[in-house]
Amino acid sequence: MILYEYPFNERIRTYLRLEHLFQRLDTLANRSAALDHHYAIQTLFEITDVAARSDMKSDVLKDLDRQRQHLGGFRDNPAINARVLDAVLQRLNGCYDTLSHTAGKAGVELADDEALMAIRSRMGIPAGTCSFDLPSYHHWQHSSDARRLDDITRWTAHISPLREAVTLLLSMLRDTGTPHKVTALNGQFQQNLPQGKTFQLLRLRIDPDLGLVPEISGNRLMVSVRLMQFAPGQVRTSLHQGESWFELTLCS
């Protein structure tokens, strides 16, 4: 099954973008080729660009605190496993404390690394990191795999508090939804959303063998999915004609 996710607000959209970049960074950093480590550094710069939004840190802290207060209300509920609840609250408290004690925006410490900033200034230029432009970076790329990985690990440590917090918040958000199977007729599906309840994320799983690409749109009142027929080698898609199904999850 292929998973597609659709955020209902800009805050969750930013969290998903960060998660995507974190996962890409892991994949590239865990490889051994110098070229992979080059793109790992580029991904690190992309993360700091996304995290540089002025209200990014405050948004994450507010979400963590909101979850702490919400879950704290279940302490006296006999239907709740107290040990599991305490473990989740401990993670929330840990993320909140670590992030709140981080000075400035995520990754701001990287700006003090002159060598790293020299690489960043050249990455926006096509082939700007050639050996004749940045000989010291060329030398670094020819150092041992372990040396490069150690440096990348040290640099990425500065974004770890933000990463842990965003990862936890998205995990908790996804756990609020219950998947159910729905059917689309002639490639289209619409569902009205209940009033008084705010959804933040839509998750859609579909069988890749169907060859269909979902185009998702939504707001606080309704969600709409159009299933487009995709054929390898074709640039354009067309609306699927016929009945098909997919798994839908709404998370609040």
Task: State whether the Cα torsion 137-141-147-153 is positive or negative.
Answer: positive
The token duo for 146 is 């372990």
233 phi/psi in degrees, rounded to 5:
90, -10
Average pLDDT, the chain: 92
pLDDT higher than threshold 90 for residue 155: yes
Beta bridge partners of 204: 4, 248
**Residue 62, SS3 per DSSP:** helix
> What residue type is assigned to position 10 of the chain?
E
Length reported for the chain:
252
49 contact partners, CB below 8 Å, separation of at least 6: none
The token duo for 24 is 């890409």
For residue 51, the Cα-to-chain-centroid distance in whole angstroms is 12
For residue 230, the Cα-to-chain-centroid distance in whole angstroms is 26
Global pTM value: 0.92
Question: How many CB atoms are located within 10 Å of the residue 239 CB?
Answer: 13
Q: What domains are defined for the chain?
A: 9-172 (1.10.3900.10), 177-251 (2.60.440.10)
User: CA dihedral in degrees (7, 8, 10, 11; nearest 10)?
Assistant: -70
Per residue in 109-145, pLDDT (tens digit) is: 888 889 899 999 999 899 999 999 999 999 999 999 9
Per residue in 162-174, pLDDT (tens digit) is: 999 999 999 999 9
Least confident of 155-159, 236-240, 244-248: 236-240
Q: Are strands 201-206 and 188-192 parallel, antiparallel or unpaired?
A: unpaired
Per residue in 67-102, pLDDT (tens digit) is: 999 998 888 788 888 889 899 999 999 999 999 998
In whole angstroms, give the CA distance from residue 171 to residue 180.
Answer: 19
**CA triple 206-197-245, angle to 5 deg:** 15
In whole angstroms, give the CA distance from residue 6 to residue 199.
Answer: 11
Classify residue 60 by burial, with Cβ atoms within 10 Å: 0-12, 13-18, 19+: buried
